[in-house]
Amino acid sequence: MRILQTGDWHLGRRLKGLDLLEDQRFVLEQVIEHVEQERPDLVLIAGDIYDRADPPAAAVDLLDEVLSRLVLDLHVPVVLLAGNHDSPERLAFCSGILKRQGLRIVGEIPEAPEPLVLEDEAGPVHLFALPYLDPERVREGLGRDDLRGHQAAMEIVLDQVRRQCHAGVRTVLAGHAFVQGGCSSESERLLTVGGSGAVDASLFEGFDHVALGHLHRPQSVGPRIHYAGSLLAYSISETDHSKGFLWVDLPASGPPSVAQVPLTPRRRLRRVQGTFQQVMDGARQDEDREDLIVAVLTDPAPVPDAIGRLRQHYPNTLHLEWEALEHPVGGSTVSREVLRLDPLSLFQRFYQEVTGRPMDEAATALLGPVVERAMRPGEEAR
């Protein structure tokens, strides 16, 4: 039994204001090509199909195109479940009709979870697909006023799932959750305000494979729990991620084989580092100027209009960092000595704490007359 596991497509996503829809189309085309070549038994999309509950029309059109090609043209069954970014009601529209075509959409939390039964030469495989389990929705749906938090919501729903499991039958669980021990990224929306919303990995004991969405870095949390990660890098913290999907091969018995397949982005998100002049010189020789650039500049002082000038060579420069200005400011305690410093000395002290180096003579000579003029009697408020 071969399953293609993917998720966290976030169709309609923008990065630093840049529309990524064509970038998403580019990698989804590669997913379709792999499906056409390998003919898996199932494509599993583990939530966060869209980036928001009311996706733009172009994102809806792209999803319609991809699912039509997978289900109607290639005749490969697809299971798609809602993540915390999705609207369960909108995503599950016409799910009853689409189920007959081989597309199973899981939006709402099922009252009595039933497995999708797949067959291979070794017998049946039961797949239980759960959407994002919002604790409030679970509490209202089950009439359990005592239910609080993601751990309790996951535990009570999995208890219902286990009542439908059969001994000796290979069982796969698909869901959308943050499992403790997983490595998060900046682009993931917090599941709770003031807390992590994480659930314990021990809740998933007994399943042969647990296919999860939510975390954008491809990773495994223990031997059975696997995140395929997002299709693309969706924050500047993800420049070191390898994005792709998973092939999950379930043998007749024993643990499944899980392998990551990388996807080639239309435009890489990458860092370039050096002085402003070094980065500019490198840009002139760079053949991949359309990449999404995070520039880390090492100049000791800011360069006027650095990002505008960089965009002349790297038009998709998304973010600019100044390494010299990233030093943490010293302790918060203000000493009597500092309070006695004159304005120029106080600024010099501040400059050294922020930049990690003393102000040079040229800067001091430039600043001195400015401070002196500002502190003349009657001119303090100017």
Predicted confidence band of residue 328 (pLDDT cuts 50, 70, 90): very low
In a domain, 91, yes or no: yes
Q: Are residues 81 and 166 in the same domain?
A: yes
Tens digit of pLDDT for each residue in 114-166?
A: 899 999 999 999 999 999 999 988 888 777 778 888 998 999 999 999 998 99
DSSP string, 154-214: HHHHHHHHHHT--TTSEEEEEEE--BTTPPP-TTSPPSBTTB---B-GGGGTT-SEEEEES
Position 379 scores a pLDDT of: 45
Q: Which of 34-43, 85-94, 96-105, 181-190 has the highest mean pLDDT?
A: 34-43
In a domain, 364, yes or no: no
**Rg for the chain, CA atoms, rounded:** 27
Q: Are residues 70 and 148 in the same domain?
A: yes
In a domain, 306, yes or no: yes
Position 195 scores a pLDDT of: 53
In a domain, 300, yes or no: yes
User: What distance in Å separates the CA atoms of residue 193 and residue 196, rounded to the nearest whole number?
Assistant: 8
Q: Are residues 256 and 282 in the same domain?
A: no
Distance, CA of 283 to chain centre: 28
Q: Are residues 280 and 177 in the same domain?
A: no
Position 374 scores a pLDDT of: 74
Q: Are residues 25 and 8 in the same domain?
A: yes
Predicted confidence band of residue 66 (pLDDT cuts 50, 70, 90): very high
User: What distance in Å separates the CA atoms of residue 96 and residue 4, rounded to the nearest whole number?
Assistant: 23
In a domain, 111, yes or no: yes
Picking from 325, 353, 372, the residue at the C-terminal end of a domain is 325
Q: Are residues 321 and 229 in the same domain?
A: no
Burial classification of residue 321, based on how many CB atoms lie within 10 Å of its CB (0-12 exposed, 13-18 middle, 19 or more buried): middle
- Arithmetic mean of pLDDT, 293-314: 92
Q: Are residues 125 and 148 in the same domain?
A: yes
Position 8 scores a pLDDT of: 97
Percent of the chain with pLDDT over 90: 62
Q: Are residues 241 and 189 in the same domain?
A: yes
Position 338 scores a pLDDT of: 56
Position 339 scores a pLDDT of: 54
Predicted confidence band of residue 325 (pLDDT cuts 50, 70, 90): low
User: What distance in Å separates the CA atoms of residue 127 and residue 114, rounded to the nearest whole number?
Assistant: 9
- Arithmetic mean of pLDDT, 1-17: 96
Of the listed ranges 64-68, 286-290, 335-339, the one predicted with least confidence:
335-339
In a domain, 43, yes or no: yes
In a domain, 7, yes or no: yes
Q: At residue 7, does pLDDT exceed 70?
A: yes
Q: Are residues 161 and 242 in the same domain?
A: yes
Q: At residue 272, does pLDDT exceed 70?
A: yes
Higher pLDDT pick, 192 / 101: 101
Domain count, the chain: 2
Position 308 scores a pLDDT of: 94
What is the total residue count of the chain?
A: 382
User: What distance in Å separates the CA atoms of residue 24 and residue 41, rounded to the nearest whole number?
Assistant: 24
Kindly list the distances between the CA atom of residue 331 and the CA atoms of 90, 324, 353, 356, in Å, as whole numbers in the listed order: 51, 19, 10, 14
In a domain, 351, yes or no: no
Position 329 scores a pLDDT of: 45
Q: At residue 17, does pLDDT exceed 70?
A: yes
Q: Are residues 136 and 45 in the same domain?
A: yes
Predicted confidence band of residue 332 (pLDDT cuts 50, 70, 90): very low
Picking from 325, 343, 360, the residue at the C-terminal end of a domain is 325
- Arithmetic mean of pLDDT, 300-325: 89
Of the listed ranges 6-20, 29-43, 174-188, the one predicted with least confidence:
174-188
Partners of 114 in the β-ladder: none
User: What distance in Å separates the CA atoms of residue 245 and residue 262, rounded to the nearest whole number?
Assistant: 7
**Mean pLDDT computed over every residue of the chain:** 88
Q: At residue 327, does pLDDT exceed 70?
A: no
Looking at residue 36, the DSSP 8-state letter turns out to be: H
Query: What is the extent of the structural domain holding 156?
Result: 2-262
Tens digit of pLDDT for each residue in 189-209?
A: 777 654 568 999 999 999 999
Q: Are residues 31 and 158 in the same domain?
A: yes
Residue 149, domain CATH: 3.60.21.10
Q: At residue 330, does pLDDT exceed 80?
A: no
Picking from 308, 325, 342, the residue at the C-terminal end of a domain is 325
Q: Are residues 193 and 312 in the same domain?
A: no
